[in-house]
Structure formats: structure tokens, C-alpha cells
Structure 1
């Protein structure tokens, strides 16, 4: 089962576009309203931002056959999506599922002949939708909309997940219903961060930790469950601090565009090349691609630079983003690490790796350039043979000015060659622009 997070933010997202608080101004990525696309066929919530979010992440919604709404709040229900679908002349059946507060908003957005089936549910219901067994559970949310908000326990041959947004601390009936579930992944809302006086039916960090602990006690969360915080807002601390706090509960923040693969999902790309310019968000995106992995080896090719405090600060920020379970290896001898990988691997970055190889072979002083090409051959072969999920980060050099020096032009040309060869050996290639991922077509090698 693949769960693509189309949004991981609260109603106002994170950062809030009208806010200048520290959390908003220091945010390194934009989080849209929370929703997810499961296996390309099922939407968990569909607020007004969802259709465009799917397009930004290179996904079509043409294959969607089921939409599950949790409640009727406007960041979770965007009925215009049904009108967009109507305009395409779609003839495939679509199930629209949810409590009355959600479905009542949607019923007037479909044509009289549209093959849309509305299914009203309440907590305690169990329905079958295609390949999915859906259990409807009680939420602690939405008194202003009739108190009919629900959560979803979703299971197929590909795994089992718990979609728990929006809600405050879970009702006793829900804890009882999920006892022994042993979910592959739990997506639990965490809206209010360090702000504990909100007085709303949402989680703050303390309540989130308590809920996760309770889910562990009843066997809904196990040591292998991926616990992902969603519906995040600017009441949370910075990304690095939030990651550290959540890790105490064995959880992590979700990220927009992240594909969480659980159970029998085997079709996700295993080798992803992430390209981008300086400060484009390429490293953060590559980290998000592997965030669901139980263990990751981080191959840091930049090393340390004595007497360079600015570089040291960059390294500290990178390290702060990584979960404690990640192993960091600072090396430029990466080919063997790729070939022998037993769990996920992140190579960051190809530019510093190439610089180190050119230094090693004294290319700047007229040394053996053919040895660098041999190193590139070995790296690409090892990348292609890597037996574990892997992501590699590199600088995109095709859009800059022509370097003023011969050495600069040589480096640019070699990195361009390396990027092209790595792209040809990759399952997925992403170009980061201003923090936004653009999926590129992959040519056959």
C-alpha cells in the first residue's frame, strides 16, 4: 500500500500565509491542507487544495474510485473536485463516503447522470470499497458540525493503516476498536504543538505523546509501526525541534509529497535522484523520501572543513533534521556502501563527491582525468546495483552562467555528465525549484 501525503498541514497550512511568527518565517517547506492518496485509487479527505497538490506531485486523480471524508470542515471537503471530474465526462463509478456533515456539501456538485454513489457512515460501520476493508471509528472532533466526525481504519492485502485526523484525544470506544490492530502506519493529527491552552478538539504535542503511548499499550502501535504526525500548524516549533520531540514517541512529522509505503507495496521507486540549485530544498526532500524507512544510512560526502564555521553550521543543521535511528557515514568511497546496502541509503551529495574524486586524482594540476571517469563508471554501476531503496542528491548545473575559469567549466561539465548518467540509472528523478518538487521523465538507460 502506498500512501502519498498530498498535504500535512492544518486548515491554514504551515506556514500561515498571513503570519510572521518565528515558526512561519523559519519554515523551510510549505505544508498544505492534510489529505492523502492511497494506491492512486482512494482519497483520504479532499479539501480545496487537494486536486492541485496531486498535480504538483506528478499524480493524476483519474484513477480515484473512492473518496473518504472524515468530517465537514472546509479544509477537508472541497466539493469542486466532483465538478472537475464531471467536466471530464468520467464514466467510471466513484464512491463518496463520509458522515452527513461532509456529504451534504457534495451532493449538489454532481450531474444527474454522474456515476457517483454517496455512502453515509458513522462510527462503528464497516464497509468494503474495492480492495479495501474500511472500519469507521469515532473521533473527538466537530461539535460545531454536529459531532459526526469519524476516523478510518483502512486495510487491504497491501497493509493496514489508521487515518486519525481531525481529533482530540481518542474516545474510549476507538481505543477499544483498535486494540491489537498492529498497524503498519498511523497518521495522527498534531495541530497545536507547544500551545496547550487551545481548548479545541485537536492534539498538541503532550496529548499526541499520550495518545501514541495509549495506542502502544493496546497493541495498535508496535515497534514496526510508522507513526506520522499530520495536520501540523505554526503552533509547532521548528522542523528540527519538532522532529526531535516527536522522536521521543517513536513518531515523526509527515511532509507534503512524501510517499509512505507499507505492507506489500513493492512498486515504489527504489532509486531516486534529486536535483536542484542552492537552497532549493533538495536535501530535505530526499530525506522525506526515506523518512518512513526503519533505518537509513546517510552517506555524507562533504566531510568537515577545519576553520570554516559557516560550513560547520550547515552540517549541524543537516544532522539535526535526521532521525536518531539514521547512521551517518562521512566518506567519498560510496560505491561499496551502495553495493552492500542492507537498508535504505541517502547519498548527499554528488557534487562534493565529484570534487573529492577530482582532488584525489590531482585533476586541477593536470592529473589523470580518465581516473575520474572510471570512478563515475563505478559509482553509476553501484547505484544501479543497489539492493535497497536509495536517494541521491546533486546540484543542477545546466541553468547557471558559464564559469569564468577552466577548472570551473571542467567541474560543471563533469557534474552534468554524472547527473545525466545517474538519472538514466534511476527509477525516479525530481527537480527541486524553490522548495517544490517537479517530477521529471526518466529515459530508459
Structure 2
């Protein structure tokens, strides 16, 4: 089961576009822009659809044309932008759509659906169970309301590849509620955490202490296991800065979600991602953003230290300064060994400098045997395939420029092109960065 987080922000996002508080200023300065919370599951099931969601899907390279099921939690504007149904009707060949949600939320959608649109309205209430396409869905009560008690719900969604809890929006849940998810053993839980350190907000949302309490109760009843990915969503600007928030959430075994994050739920092996790009294309920054949701990440720097090169030292310093303080840096070219022994997510930057080091090691520039480097590449590929943690590798896209003038340049270009192709073949996701924009290849 693939889950793409189309947004992880509260109703006003984070930062609030009209706010100048410290949290908003820092988020804006670092480009950490969160839109309204929603998720796309297997490109066929959509969890909530606020007005920002359709454009967010396009921004992350996904079409919503394959969505056949929309599960709405409630009718607040950031969870339901019914105008999307009108936009859908303008597309030729729009297929059938199951619109699932509380009756009041569905009522808000009816005037946006044409009389001939293949949209089926499925009103639900807490306690209902139903089959939606290939998914088994249980409807759970939310401690949240729009106009009346019961007009907001949560969803327990189970498919062939895993089981998730979509708990957004809700305040702290009563003790009897946990009996409905006892021993569920969710692969992932998406739990709202709106107010951070602000405690005078009422009862319809979580703050950090309430979030920790809810996660503890989910663990006690068996809904959350040791390997459950607990993801905080619906994050608002009353939270501390993201690095501090990550540490605070880690105390509960949770982490903040990130807009555009792709999760493979229920898959036992770590997800492998290759990020390609030319010089200054933004490939390293994009790779870092992919791993921001994880509290601890090992940054594998394959370029090493270049004595006397001030410009290189400045580049290294800039890279280090923008990484979260919870990340560690490992300078090594023994990448295959790191992949095999890893116990936390990895970012390998980059395969181009790694290949250069292998060519240096075997004296290829001076006429050494290139087959020794081929053995290094085979070892890297075996370790890449077997890696048990999420791993992102960065590499230079070298096939789009002019033919290098030197024989050594042509050799390097050809070898790295082959390395990139082989790693891409063994990757779950491949992205090309062009002028700072990610172009999904797989």
C-alpha cells in the first residue's frame, strides 16, 4: 500500500500566510511549506480533499484521474473542497467515483456533481464497516464536530498491502473508543497534532501533551506496535520549529509527516530512491527533504575532505548547516558496507564522487584494470538491493551534455551512466531534478 501525503498542515497550513510569529518565519525561511492535510493511497483512494489538494497532487507528479474512492472525514473547508468534483466533471472520460463520508459532508457536495456524473454517494457513520474497491474500511468516531455531534469521523483502512488509521481531525478520544481498535496492529497511524504548545484551544484537536497521551493509549490497546509508523499531521504554527518538534514527537515514538512524502505501508524492506540531476539542479536538497520526516538519518558523504580547497569546504559547510541536528555524517567510500550494516535511514551523496574514488583506488586513470571497478559496482548493487532501511542516493545525470574532450572524461561519463541505469533499475522511485523541479521517472 503506497501512501502519498499531499499535505500535512492544519486548516491554515504552516506557515500561516498572514502570520509573522517565530514558527512561521522559520518555516518560511527554510522553505518548509505545509498545505492542508490529505493523502492519496495507491493512486485510487483519496483521504480528504480540501481546496489545495488537486494542485498538490500535480505538484508531486500524480494525476487524480485514477481516484475511484474519496473518503471524507467531515465538512470543514480544509478537508472538503467540493469544487474539485466540478473540475473532475470537466475532464473527458472521468470514471466512477465513490464519495464516502458523513451525510452532512455529502450534502455539501451534491450541487457540485452533474446529473450524469458517475458519482455514487455513500453516507456513513461511526460503527459502519464497508468494502470500498479493494479496501476494507471501518468508520470510527471522532472527537470533532462541524455542526452537530457525529458529523465527523475517522477511518480504519485495510488493503492487501497494509492497514492504516486516518485520525484527522479529532481531539483526545474517550477511554471506550480504544476498544474499537484494540489489537489492530496498524502499519501506520496518521494522527492530527494541531496546536503544539498552545493548550487553551478547546477539545476538538490535539496539542503535544494530548498527542503523546493518545499514542500511549494506542500502544496500550495494541493498535500501535513497536514497528508502527506514527505520523503527526494537521500541523499548525503553534508548534515549535520542525527540528524541535521532531525531537518532541520522538519521545512518543512518532514523527512529523512531510508534504510530498511517499510511504510504502506494510512493505518489510526499506524503500530505495534514486535522485538524479545536473550541477546545481537542487538534487541534494530534494534528497534531504525526502528524509526530513525521519528523526535520525546517516548522511553518507562520499566526497571526503579536499585539503586546501576553500570552495569545496564552503559547499560542505552549507550542506551540513541545512541538515537537521539529529542527522549524523559519515565520510566514507565503503558505501556497500554501510548499506548492509545500516540500522537507520541513509542519504548517499553522491554516486559520482563514489565512482571517482573507486577509479582512483584501482589506478584506472593511469591505465589500471577497469574490471576491478566493475566488481565494486556489482557489490554496491547487491547491497543496494538488500538494504533494509529507507535509502536515498544522489547521482549526477551526465548524459545530456557535450561529449567530454578527454578519454578519461568519456570513460567516467560512460561508467556513471551505467551505474545510474543499474541503480535505477533496482530502485522503487527515481526522480530527475531540472532547474530545481522534481520530474518523477518512476
TM-score (norm 1): 0.81
1:305, 1:312 within 8 Å by CA — same for their partners in 2? no
Task: Trace 1:80-119 onto structure 2 (pairs within 5 A).
Answer: 80-90=83-93, 92-119=95-122
Report 1:255-404 matches (<5 A).
255-263=258-266, 270-275=272-277, 278=280, 280=282, 282-283=284-285, 285-286=287-288, 288=290, 298-303=299-304, 311=316, 314-315=319-320, 317-318=322-323, 320-322=325-327, 329-338=330-339, 345-353=346-354, 356=357, 368=366, 375=373, 378-379=376-377, 382-383=380-381, 386-388=385-387, 390-394=391-395
From the superposition, tell whether residues 64 and 176 of structure 1 become closer, same or farther in structure 2 (CA, over 3 Å). Answer: same
| Structure 2 CA distance for aligned equivalents of residues 157 and 111 of structure 1 | 33
Shift in CA distance, 122/383, structure 1 to aligned 2, threshold 3 Å: same
RMSD, matched Cα: 3.8
Per the alignment, do residues 356 and 22 of structure 1 end up closer, same or farther by CA in structure 2, a change over 3 Å counting? Answer: farther
Alpha-carbon distance, 1:390 to partner: 3.3
After superposition, where does 1:244-263 map in structure 2 within 5 Å?
244-263=247-266
- Counterpart of 1:12 in structure 2 is 12
The reply to whether residue 41 of structure 1 matches residue 44 of structure 2 is yes
Q: How many angstroms apart in 1 are the aligned matches of 2:437 and 2:259?
A: 10
Deviates more, 1:68-77 or 1:273-282: 273-282
Once the two structures are TM-superposed, the CA of residue 272 in structure 1 deviates from its matched residue by 2.3
The 3-state SS of whatever aligns with 1:212 is helix
Shift of 1:425: 3.2
How far off is 1:70 after superposition?
A: 0.5
Provide closer, same or farther for how the CA distance between residues 290 and 316 of structure 1 changes in structure 2, counting only shifts above 3 A: closer
Deviation, structure 1 residue 189: 0.8
The change in CA–CA distance for 1:337 and 1:423 in structure 2 (over 3 A counts) is same
Separation in 2 of the partners of 1:416 and 1:78? 50
Partners of 1:235 and 1:147 lie apart in 2 by 27
1:320/1:290 Cα in 2 relative to 1: closer, same or farther (>3 Å)?
closer
Q: 1:400-415 residue pairs with structure 2 within 5 A?
A: 414=412
SS at structure 1 position matched to 2:394: strand
Q: TM-score, normalised by structure 2?
A: 0.82
Between the aligned partners of 1:254 and 1:281, the Cα distance in structure 2 is 21
Q: 1:75 to 1:396 in 2, by over 3 A?
A: farther
Give 1:160 deviation, angstroms. 1.1
State how many pairs are aligned: 429
Change (3 A) 1:440 1:262: closer
CA distance in 1, matches of 2:94, 2:104: 26
| Cα distance in 1, alignment partners of residues 315 and 179 from structure 2 | 52
Aligned to 1:140: 143
Partner of 1:66: 69
Aligned mate of 1:221, from 221, 224, 245: 224
Superposed CA deviations along residues 28-60 of structure 1, whole A, max 9, x for unmatched, are 332221111111211100112222222222222
